[in-house]
A and B are shown apart, each in its own frame.
Chain A
Amino acid sequence: METPAKIELQHVHFAYEDHEVLHDINLRIPPNQIFVLFGPAGSGKSTLLRLLNRLTDFSPEETHLQGKVLLDGQDIFAPDVDVTRLRQRAGMVFAKPVPLPLSIRDNITYGLTLGGRRDRSTLDETVERSLHAAALWDEVKDRLDDPGMALSGGQQQRLCLARTLALQPEVVLLDEPTSGLDPISTLQVEEALFQLRESVTFIVVPHSVQQAARVADRAAFLLMGELVEEGPADVLFTRPKDKRTEDYVTGRFG
């Protein structure tokens, strides 16, 4: 029997005003692995990612959604859904690292204290655990009270990952998390993902096909708002079924 999907999209159509960005997407994302969404610019992958924890609600334009997005079988767009709780369960790391204008420590505990947690020892534990998980602890353990913005770009991005992990999310959405980073920082972030994939479902929009092939357990190829092909990474990147996927992964367009 098939494992139940962590996230499932059923016939999803999504549009900004009258411009359709996603067309009839059907997708099952299994739990606890790294799932990669890739495709050329404008294929709708970032929008799809934002849909999964409803950051699309923030769009200044009018949006239209058809179909269902399910997390553990529950419709996340149902009227009785607690959106803040949903966003804690499905955290997000953005392309450009955005440390809050707070200290390193307070950046990480921010999400927890929003929920009213004040207990110092739990918070300290969380800070250490999250920074370890994001492979940042050794670099910042002596200056947790420095402003988060004082860190380098690569450190900032791992800080943002740690901030997301602090909430112990079941799903983490990463939108080109290494696009602004040097190769060494990029490997550090990727390494952090590998360490955690036993317990977290990662959905990654990579910044290159190479990165997609490097990190993916499973992957999906999107083209102009349509899902072209989905499957295990070794199949998709070596023996794709669809001609368009093959052209793209071999670098013939994109």
Chain B
Amino acid sequence: MHLTPRATQRIVFGALTAAMVLVIIPLIFVIGYIVVQGAGAISWEFLSGMPRNGMREGGILPAIVGTLFLTLGTAIFSVPIGIGGGIYLAEYAADTPLTRAIRLSIINLAGVPSVVYGLFGLGLFVLFLQFGTSILAGSLTLGILTLPVIISTSEEAIRSVPQSFRVVNAAVGGTKWQGIRRIVLPQALPGIITGVILGLERAAGETAPILFTVAAFFLPRLPHSIFDQTMALPYHLFVISTQVPSMPVQIQYGTALVLIVFVLSMNLTATLIRRHYRRRRQW
């Protein structure tokens, strides 16, 4: 059988469209399934109560609070360093072997397996610096994991600001840093914020890096200091879905629902910010 180019094209395009559908459907299924199965578990008590009876009853408040603290802690470490690194790469770094080494390091940091970050955090923060299994150690570990995302998205956002603004700044007597601070950064800010949120979203959903650095199996109280352990949503989901026998399925789905709502609302915020500013941007 010999097909005309037109017919071939129709078949191939059909297959590619099918591939697209094949990718989207599981996403809709996963989210839909969790929402349907988990919605029944959501109540005020579930969101604001302590777990009871070996986590088989009660709420997940400590895990929610723990994840909030860890996300905040991650931001405190990774945002200033990440944006600073992005500014350096976009504005100051010349194309030297050293700069290439920095870029290589960033790509590699982004590729280090998350469980290896966990080992590293255990070795450096928990043991060597003696922070113990703590929010501090977990936040630092997640902060380093998030860093490459924030550096690269900041760099990209800063680079996308037209060079002509920098030249005009210089032409009216502005120094390099004045131009960056007063023109370039404000223009790059939406892009930077988007990158920061996407980075933190990843940190909030991570389990492996917090396994040995902060996560508590069962700790039905809120943390008092940054040297406390804490429960966290992803680890809690892992625990109740694999480690606790005769766990009510509804609580598992409820926990999964809270986690994806937390994470996906960050994702949605980032998308909306990007869309809003792209539309308003005049250059």
Chain A residues in the interface with B (C-beta under 8 A): 53, 55, 58, 84-85, 87-88, 91-92, 94, 96, 98, 100-102, 110-111, 114-115, 147, 149-150, 160, 163-164, 167
- How distant is B163 from chain A, measured CB to nearest CB, in Å? 8
The answer to whether A100 and B175 have CB atoms under 8 Å apart is: no
Knowing A55-B167, A147-B282, say if A84 contacts B173 (CB, 8 Å): yes
CB within 8 A of B164: which of A98, A102, A149? A98
* Residues in chain A near residue B92, CB distance under 8 A: none
Main secondary structure of the interface of B (DSSP, over half): helix
- How distant is A109 from chain B, measured CB to nearest CB, in Å? 10
CB within 8 A of B168: which of A88, A98, A115? A98
Knowing A101-B183, A101-B187, A114-B178, say if A87 contacts B172 (CB, 8 Å): yes
Give the complex CA separation of A164 and B170 in angstroms: 12
With an 8 A cutoff between CB atoms, is B13 at the interface? no
Give the complex CA separation of A96 and B283 in angstroms: 13
Chain B residues in the interface with A (C-beta under 8 A): 162, 164-175, 178, 182-183, 186-187, 282-283
A94-B167, A114-B182 known, 16 other contacts, Cβ within 8 Å:
A53-B171, A55-B167, A58-B166, A58-B170, A85-B173, A91-B171, A91-B172, A100-B168, A101-B183, A101-B187, A102-B183, A114-B173, A114-B178, A115-B173, A149-B283, A163-B172
Can you identify 25 A-B contacts, CB atoms within 8 angstroms? A58-B166, A84-B170, A84-B174, A84-B175, A87-B173, A88-B173, A94-B171, A98-B162, A98-B165, A98-B167, A98-B168, A100-B165, A100-B168, A100-B169, A101-B165, A102-B183, A110-B174, A111-B173, A114-B172, A114-B175, A114-B182, A149-B282, A150-B282, A164-B171, A167-B173
* Residues in chain B near residue A149, CB distance under 8 A: 282-283
Give the complex CA separation of A111 and B175 in angstroms: 11
CB within 8 A of B172: which of A101, A110, A150? A110
* Residues in chain A near residue B282, CB distance under 8 A: 101, 147, 149-150
